[in-house]
Amino acid sequence: MDSKESREQFEKLYALTKKRIYDRIAAKCYAIDDVDDIFQNTYLAVIRALEKLDEPPPEPEAFVMLICSRQLMKYYSAARRLRERIAVRIDSTDVQSPELSDTFSIEDSIIDRSVLTEIHTLLRRKPLTTQKVFFLYYKRGLTITETAELLGISESSVKMHLYRTLDEIKRRYRSKEGAE
């Protein structure tokens, strides 16, 4: 295929598969922070593969899913895991400035950011399954049923991960409010 044809084919494949591939990566990853990197790597590999083909793949979804599986394996190769364990990781979070308004209070902004950071830290200490449940349910907007199917666990297990962790967050911040 020439570059124009491969670009058009890519755009069709991307529109057809992006949600399913993103959710699959989130379900299979070892760390939620890796999802966007693996997603990007997957579609870069799709572009490269399309450029090498003479005609569109006969099964487009299977084509992208295979590339996704390979990217997951590649990303989590033994050498990479070893390097990540040895290297010191610096946690960087995207902090966005709040919009200034008449009711803007720097103290409120700092408190809100502080609470979000604490919750994020608490979630990162939870088992990977709990992190995935929160990511898929709250960030991706999947239902409990969809989350359970994607992770291969029961709906009651998804609910347990959500409700126990939410209860812990509520208890922690109620006790902090009472202490202040």
Q: Which of 5, 76, 81, 86 is nearest to 47 (CA)?
A: 5
Q: 63 and 27 in one domain?
A: yes
77 & 120 share domain? no
Predicted confidence (pLDDT) at residue 176 exceeds the cutoff of 70: no
**Higher local confidence (pLDDT), 178 or 168:** 168
- Residue-number span of the structural domain to which 165 is assigned: 106-179
Does one domain contain both 75 and 113? Answer: no
Both 23 and 56 in one domain: the answer is yes
Q: What is the pLDDT of residues 76-100, one digit of tens each?
A: 875 455 555 554 333 433 434 334 3
In a domain, 31, yes or no: yes
Q: Domain tally for the chain?
A: 2
User: pTM, whole model, 2 decimals?
Assistant: 0.66
CATH code, domain carrying 173: 1.10.10.10
Q: What gap in Å lies between CA 127 and CA 178, rounded to an integer? A: 28
- pLDDT of res. 74: 86
Same domain for 71 and 117, yes or no, is no
Mean pLDDT of 38-62: 91
The answer to whether residue 36 is domain-embedded is yes
Higher-pLDDT residue of 78 and 60 is: 60
Give the CATH number of the domain where residue 33 resides.
Answer: 1.10.1740
Nearest Cα to Cα of residue 33 among 87, 68, 84: 84
- Same domain (yes/no): 38, 76: yes
User: Do 67 and 118 share a structural domain?
Assistant: no
Higher-confidence position of 88 and 170: 170
Evaluate whether 123 touches 132 at the Cβ level (below 8 Å). Answer: no
| 125 and 162 co-located in one domain | yes
